[in-house]
Chains A and B, each alone.
Chain A
Amino acid sequence: MGPDPGVGNWGSDATGSENSMTVHRRKPRGSWSLAVLLGGVVALAWEAGAASMEKSVIQIFNFSQQPLWESPWRWQPVRREGGSGFVVKTGQGLRVMSNAHVVSWSRQVLVRRFQDPRPYQAEVDFIGHDCDLVLLRVADESFFEGIPSVEFGDLPEVRSTVVTYGYPAGGEQISYTRGVVSRIELQNYVHIGNRSLLAVQTDAAINPGNSGGPVFQEDKVVGVAFQGVPGLENAGFFIPPEVIRHFLKDVEDGTYHGFPLAGIRLVTLQNPAYRRHLGLPVSGEFGARIDSIADVATTAEVLRPDDVLLEAAGFPVASDGTIVYRENRVAAALAFQQAQHGEKLSLKIFRDRKEMTVDLPVFVYQADRSAGNQYDRPPRYYVHGGLVFTPLSQDYLRTLGRDLADAGASELVYQLFYLRQEKPERVRKEPVVLGGLLAHPVNANFSVRSRALVDKINGIRIESIDDVIRAFGEGQGEQHVIEFVSRQGFECLDRGEAAAANEEILKTYGVPNDRRL
């Protein structure tokens, strides 16, 4: 999609979707089966003493329906997708844990026990789209009878052996694959697209359908299989215990909040002149520089640019912006992710040539939700006079495909991904686009067709869909005046004719309601 982020800093991965990772959803290529079979045989022999664990592994079927973001009242055809899960014990009782992407946009979730043909209805209890985890509730308590819940282990060591359990590629029988832990670092979680959390790479085959399945080491779960890289053989990723425990702790109060984001840009501090200037030992190993702070007011109160981060939550921060976590060198962002929403982190910083300790409260950052992939809440919209208004989002932009590089669409890309960084004071809460026109004589002569970001309607600055509805209700003139951002100009709509045509337009084009809020 769109601009290549491969070169240059301005073109960084803000658009998110060039990431080559994929959440396992689709049927794989034809060649996977042999590898899985062989791996399964090996794993069986090796894990002979732990045969009961497979009873904890659940097969999941999701019947999902995704919205069409450019025609927000419409839905794509129903899809049936398979995944895996496993039984965990929570404060509220037994639940099935899996990946969020396995059950996203669900119309119905069915779960099946090991070698039990009966499907059971399941429902989402808690879902964390940022960490791609979900807890499912099964109404029929008998489902859990005779199934042991798993215990979680610690982050496995690099080079140690793990075994994944699951139902890849929609197979009816459970599959086991064994591999070693290749490396551990922060990875983009492609389900949400614009967050990176700790992930473990393994060469155990992880294929579509494995998603949500447990990764065992000895008799403990050390991960949840979740994504792979298309075209890259022998590399699958699983979610480590750190992220799983964070998710489970988060939901203890009955609400899932998510992983907090401090909103700091931490950069390397390895230039001798810069270190000397700040009063740090030139060849020192520790201390990374805070280059800028995003629009997170609570962070801006505590930290400022050119503060040097020496320690985060007890982890010494190296000059390249990393910490050592259980013998793995990973981005210091990990230290911030240990905290729960609203908790405080203790930071040791170096400011004005003095060491000091500060407490930084961290919160979930929601302002960039529309810049990532969104789930479960169908797009908001409002239709008036055949004009379809819907929020600007990454999901909407994706519908433009290759047209994204067109001049009009590049304004949308800028507004969604760059404006917040450059001019936060000009950011709209929910930028609205004219997503399309439902052709009717009242709008047939519009020269602006779609993809135009709405600036004002009847003189009212549009900050959200609600503003659109309010603005059409206000104003006195015989025409509604719709102004667009940038060079898209403005268009008028005859007030009386549009009101009279509304019902007919909705009926003609099968729009069940003029709005979804």
Chain B
Amino acid sequence: MMTMTKIAFGCAVFAAMMCGRWCAAAEGNGRSPFESSVVTLEVTSKDYDYFQPWTKPTRSVRKHALVVGEKELVTTAQNLADQTLVRVQKRGRGRWYNAEVRWVDYHANLGVISVADDAFWTGLKAVELSGTVPRRNDYEILRWRDGNLEMRRADFSKFTVSEGSMSFAPRIQLELNTEIGGLGWAEPVLADGKVVGLTVSKGGNVCTVMPTPFMARVLEAKKAGRFPGLGFFDFVWQAGQNPATLEYLRVPGEPRGAVVIEVPKRAAEDYALKTRDVLLEVDGFPIDMEGDYEDPDYGHVMLEGLATRGHFAGDKVRMKILREGKEVEIQYELPKADFSVDLLPMFVFDKEPEYLVAGGLVFQPLHQQYLRGWGDDWRRRAPFRLVYATSEGPTKERPTVVILSQVLPDPINVGYQEVRNLVLEAVNGRTVRNLKDLQEALKSPKDGVHVIEFFRGDNLRRLLLDSGDLEASTARVLKRYGIPSASVIH
């Protein structure tokens, strides 16, 4: 049988109704002291539709924030991007106060919020962020529900090094096991009566928590005006668990170390690492055969955590490596975690979607945000070739990608109206890496036509557009399809 049957997996959602467990630590009136430290945050933000980049749909979410200092709230950076209105409410009910996002860092996943109205701060108390995260089977998770501060228990699962919710940069996170539904909205997590973290996500029974020591370090650096952003390791390694491989690389002693297998395509000549270097120690920590190190606070975790543990972007990290059989000490400079390191940036924040409409042809920069338009399952559902580009590294010649995303029908583009999602190579003979290149190239048509060429592949390579009628056509298209402007280019 030759058919491949698509099986739609039905997804059953179970709402687990659990009895709330009330915390013992109580104020004189039997209420939790955290009622005056945990506030509700309401964020309205633009939720762009990248398939119609000129539209500005919005959405609102409610999450939590923590009073951490003099008129200062801290929360996760999630949903703070492209915000249009931020409001806060204390004690889970009553008046909403206008607030302002003072600072946000998406890679660190932290945001600082302030409220101008002094009335808001009356009765609120700052809490201390715990400097350690003990392992407990009685963590408590706080959240406002219907005017009451709910406190429910969660169990320790593990410390892990994983990507941030809005970043590819790995950091140490705490994973809790809990059946509480709907977590991940910066609910504070308590241990021994102290805040040890904020929730960032929930999948299955696993709730991921950003630990307070990490938060405190970033916030302190930011306060001191010296937070350069998170760093990350921009090389790819594999665990040195195969004794034959270690023998080949002349690693003495027991199996250990991580083997570098890829360095960035755009790496400078003097890049500190080479493929087949074996990382033996990173920042003073020996690397084991799994690629883990023993963290004094968090136990065995992946070496990637060392890029954010005690370091920020630009710091030099000392590494002891084995190169061609010899131990060498090197200094590796941590690059800044920035979305531009990928050919298709993982996210675009706080920017209106860029696009350019020319004669009904819609051009857009390609990023993962665009691909997410195909839904959560975009890696399966979006056009394969575009998804595959997420695994292609940027090069000097090709740092970013522009696509012809769709064609809005108009007489000028008859014959091309089925074309969509093609990667642009050149226009009028000029290479196009971004919309500015394209805008520039469209200024020099030849012989009355614009020549638009796409990357070589299993697709259309070339189309021509009448240059004489282009301006009038664009005007027609904007009017007919209700597009406010022919382009948004940053």
**Across the interface, do A271 and B460 meet the contact criterion of CB distance under 8 Å?**
no
B385 at the interface (CB under 8 A from A): yes
Residues facing A in B189-243 (CB within 8 A) are 236, 238-239, 241-243
Known: A3-B380, A10-B423, A407-B391. A270 touches B414 (CB 8 A): yes
Question: Which chain A positions have C-beta within 8 A of B476?
Answer: none
**Across the interface, do A414 and B415 meet the contact criterion of CB distance under 8 Å?**
no
Question: Which chain A positions have C-beta within 8 A of B236?
Answer: 487, 489
**Across the interface, do B421 and A18 meet the contact criterion of CB distance under 8 Å?**
no
- From A10, A269, A277, A492, contact of B385 by CB (8 A): A10
Q: CA separation between A407 and B469, bound complex, in Å?
A: 44
Q: Which residue of A lies closest to B447 (CB)?
A: A277
Contact with A along B441-468 (1 / 0, CB 8 A): 0000001110000011111111111100
A398 at the interface (CB under 8 A from B): yes
Question: Which chain A positions have C-beta within 8 A of B247?
Answer: 478-479, 492, 494
What distance in Å separates the Cβ of A491 from its nearest Cβ neighbour in chain B? 6
**Across the interface, do B463 and A274 meet the contact criterion of CB distance under 8 Å?**
yes
**Across the interface, do A447 and B241 meet the contact criterion of CB distance under 8 Å?**
yes
Q: Which residue of B lies closest to A413 (CB)?
A: B384
A356 at the interface (CB under 8 A from B): no
**Across the interface, do A291 and B462 meet the contact criterion of CB distance under 8 Å?**
yes
B322 at the interface (CB under 8 A from A): no
B386 at the interface (CB under 8 A from A): yes
Residues facing B in A422-462 (CB within 8 A) are 422-423, 442, 445-447
Q: CA separation between A97 and B372, bound complex, in Å?
A: 50
Known: A9-B460, A23-B2, A273-B466. A410 touches B245 (CB 8 A): no
A87 at the interface (CB under 8 A from B): no
A512 at the interface (CB under 8 A from B): no
Contact with B along A16-28 (1 / 0, CB 8 A): 0111111101100
What distance in Å separates the Cβ of B366 from its nearest Cβ neighbour in chain A? 11
Question: Which chain B positions have C-beta within 8 A of A272?
Answer: 411, 414, 466
Question: Which chain B positions have C-beta within 8 A of A265?
Answer: 460-461
Question: Which chain A positions have C-beta within 8 A of B461?
Answer: 265, 291-292, 305
What distance in Å separates the Cβ of A191 from its nearest Cβ neighbour in chain B? 7
Q: CA separation between A431 and B170, bound complex, in Å?
A: 34
**Across the interface, do A418 and B385 meet the contact criterion of CB distance under 8 Å?**
yes
Q: CA separation between A489 and B241, bound complex, in Å?
A: 13
**Across the interface, do B381 and A4 meet the contact criterion of CB distance under 8 Å?**
yes
**Across the interface, do B4 and A17 meet the contact criterion of CB distance under 8 Å?**
yes
B71 at the interface (CB under 8 A from A): no
**Across the interface, do A9 and B248 meet the contact criterion of CB distance under 8 Å?**
no
Question: Which chain A positions have C-beta within 8 A of B386?
Answer: 8, 10-11
Q: Which one of B423, B456, B457 has the greatest number of beta carbons of chain A within 10 Å?
A: B457
**Across the interface, do B459 and A10 meet the contact criterion of CB distance under 8 Å?**
yes
B481 at the interface (CB under 8 A from A): no
A108 at the interface (CB under 8 A from B): no
Q: What is the interface size of chain B, counting residues whose CB is below 8 A from a CB of the partner? A: 57
**Across the interface, do A490 and B459 meet the contact criterion of CB distance under 8 Å?**
no
What distance in Å separates the Cβ of A427 from its nearest Cβ neighbour in chain B? 13
B122 at the interface (CB under 8 A from A): no
Question: Which chain A positions have C-beta within 8 A of B384?
Answer: 2-3, 5, 10-11, 15, 410, 413-414, 418
**Across the interface, do A7 and B456 meet the contact criterion of CB distance under 8 Å?**
no
Residues facing A in B254-276 (CB within 8 A) are 255, 259, 261-262
A486 at the interface (CB under 8 A from B): yes
B244 at the interface (CB under 8 A from A): yes
**Across the interface, do A292 and B456 meet the contact criterion of CB distance under 8 Å?**
yes
**Across the interface, do B380 and A481 meet the contact criterion of CB distance under 8 Å?**
no
Question: Which chain B positions have C-beta within 8 A of A3?
Answer: 380-384, 387
Main secondary structure of the interface of B (DSSP, over half): mixed
Question: Which chain A positions have C-beta within 8 A of B1?
Answer: 22-23, 25-26
Question: Which chain B positions have C-beta within 8 A of A421?
Answer: 456-458
**Across the interface, do B415 and A8 meet the contact criterion of CB distance under 8 Å?**
no
- From B245, B382, B415, B419, contact of A269 by CB (8 A): B415
- From B388, B411, B416, contact of A410 by CB (8 A): B388
B422 at the interface (CB under 8 A from A): yes
**Across the interface, do A305 and B379 meet the contact criterion of CB distance under 8 Å?**
no
**Across the interface, do A446 and B462 meet the contact criterion of CB distance under 8 Å?**
no
B432 at the interface (CB under 8 A from A): no
A417 at the interface (CB under 8 A from B): yes
**Across the interface, do A273 and B464 meet the contact criterion of CB distance under 8 Å?**
yes
Contact with B along A284-319 (1 / 0, CB 8 A): 000000011000000000000110000000000000
**Across the interface, do B383 and A7 meet the contact criterion of CB distance under 8 Å?**
yes
B316 at the interface (CB under 8 A from A): no
Contact with B along A396-430 (1 / 0, CB 8 A): 00100000010100110110011001110000000
B178 at the interface (CB under 8 A from A): no
Contact with A along B420-433 (1 / 0, CB 8 A): 11110000000000
Contact with A along B385-426 (1 / 0, CB 8 A): 111100100000000000000000001111110011111000
Residues facing B in A21-51 (CB within 8 A) are 21-23, 25-26
B29 at the interface (CB under 8 A from A): no
Question: Which chain B positions have C-beta within 8 A of A230?
Answer: 3
- From B244, B379, B421, B459, contact of A494 by CB (8 A): B244
Residues facing B in A130-152 (CB within 8 A) are none
What distance in Å separates the Cβ of A364 from its nearest Cβ neighbour in chain B? 20
Contact with B along A173-208 (1 / 0, CB 8 A): 000000000000000001101000000000000000
**Across the interface, do A10 and B464 meet the contact criterion of CB distance under 8 Å?**
no
Question: Which chain B positions have C-beta within 8 A of A11?
Answer: 382-386, 421
Q: CA separation between A14 and B383, bound complex, in Å?
A: 11
A373 at the interface (CB under 8 A from B): yes
Question: Which chain A positions have C-beta within 8 A of B422?
Answer: 9-10
**Across the interface, do B259 and A489 meet the contact criterion of CB distance under 8 Å?**
yes
Q: CA separation between A10 and B392, bound complex, in Å?
A: 15
Q: CA separation between A22 and B5, bound complex, in Å?
A: 10
What distance in Å separates the Cβ of B428 from its nearest Cβ neighbour in chain A? 13
Q: CA separation between A487 and B239, bound complex, in Å?
A: 13
Question: Which chain A positions have C-beta within 8 A of B244?
Answer: 442, 445, 479, 491-494, 497
**Across the interface, do B465 and A445 meet the contact criterion of CB distance under 8 Å?**
no
A68 at the interface (CB under 8 A from B): no
Question: Which chain B positions have C-beta within 8 A of A497?
Answer: 244
Q: CA separation between A3 and B371, bound complex, in Å?
A: 13
Q: Which 4 A-B pairs have the closest CB atoms?
A: A10-B385, A8-B383, A11-B383, A3-B384
Q: A8-B382, A10-B383, A273-B466 are in contact. List 13 more A-B contacts (CB 8 A).
A: A3-B382, A8-B385, A9-B420, A18-B4, A23-B1, A265-B461, A268-B415, A273-B449, A273-B469, A277-B448, A405-B379, A410-B384, A418-B388
Can you identify 10 A-B contacts, CB atoms within 8 angstroms? A7-B374, A9-B421, A10-B457, A20-B3, A23-B2, A101-B2, A410-B391, A442-B244, A490-B261, A494-B247
